[in-house]
Amino acid sequence: MINLDVPAKFARLVDQAHQAAAEFFRPHSRKYDQAEHTYPRELDMLAALLDGLSASGGGAGAGGVRRGAAASGNQNGANLRLLLGTIEMCWGDVGLLLSMPRQGLGNAAIASVANDEQLARYQGKWAAMAITEPDAGSDSGAIRTTAVLDGDHYVLNGEKIFVTAGERADCVVVWATLDRSLGKAAIKSFVVDRGTPGFTLVRLEHKLGIRASDTAHFRLEDVRVHKDNLLGSPDIQGFAGVMQTFDNTRPLVAAMAVGVARAALEEVHRILVEAGVTIDYDRPAFSQPAAAATYLQLEADWEAAYLLSLEAAWMADNRKPNSLQASIAKAKAGRSASDITLRCVELAGTLGYSENSLLEKWARDSKILDIFEGTQQIQQLIVARRLLGKSSTELR
């Protein structure tokens, strides 16, 4: 069974993450929201801390834990540690967390499936992930970027959009297909170093939220990548290898959502108490003021998302397949965070809509957490397939 208490051995790390969020993220949150595309140089000071939490930090992340681990047995809570740290940091600011060096989704991909030589070569590098294309969004299996073997190199051609930290990263993990006619089975991931000829930054996106984090659009024109930069096996044998990255990182997106939702709940709780609204946990919600009843409902929704996120991380630490639970946690937390932050804006009235408070910013930031790394609709589809035992062709 799951022990819901934060392990004592993680208390110090969680406290450090919370201090970083409170002392740097919160005070700089509005500044970098307004100065979109400006890299927060102060983040370099915190990079060492996050290396202990991220998927690139010496194998401490979700992907690193699974790769090369023992065939059975508890993995000492490394996934739970990462999840708890992520919650605290996103209580401070989601966009600034996503701007932290070596905190890219590409780092999780490298940690998940790279061989020993690749792990050593890209240790300490900041890796972004390029999956989405203009004609392939939530359906990762429909990507059109091609990779053609030419001697010792693969030649990549295509276009990638919505690449988080794409401009700032040292390299980008690009998904491409070896043969479009073979569908998902032919999709592989390649590490493309920034500065590689033909790998062009087209533009940076202006966004609703997480503005501290840059989001890039790339074009690949005859980009030559050495075959040693292909992650995993070059054999066409199935889509599961590249998709494993999501099983490791979707609980972390859920953690981001849990963190920002908790920030909004704490702020609106303070506002309600100052306004004289009493929130009584010993009385039924329907017998309390409407604002208190709404708050209790939102808090219960948050707790469900939090517990589902813990479950997904706990399963990974205990060598249990967690694809279903990762999607459930991501779907629940992503939607709950968006709902909770918007309702908190509503409960706070003019204070919620004003830039004098961070509530309106959290509402904008939270929306992406219901979208990226698999939209709400895709998560529900994955959950339905798993529960019903249907394949992607049987249930679309």
**What amino acid positions are annotated as catalytic residues?**
373
d(CA 190, CA 157): 12
Torsion of CA 20, 23, 24, 29, to 10 degrees: 120
Amino acid symbol at 302: W
Is 383 within 8 Å of 324 (Cβ atoms)?
yes
- Is residue 296 a contact partner of residue 123, using CB atoms and an 8 Å limit? no
79 sits in which H/E element: helix 78-92
CB neighbour list of residue 20: distance below 8 Å, 6 or more residues apart: 46, 49, 88, 89, 92
Rounded-to-integer distance, Cα 215 and Cα 164, Å: 5
Are the C-beta atoms of residues 105 and 62 closer than 8 Å to each other? no
CA-nearest of 210, 140, 130 to 171 is: 130
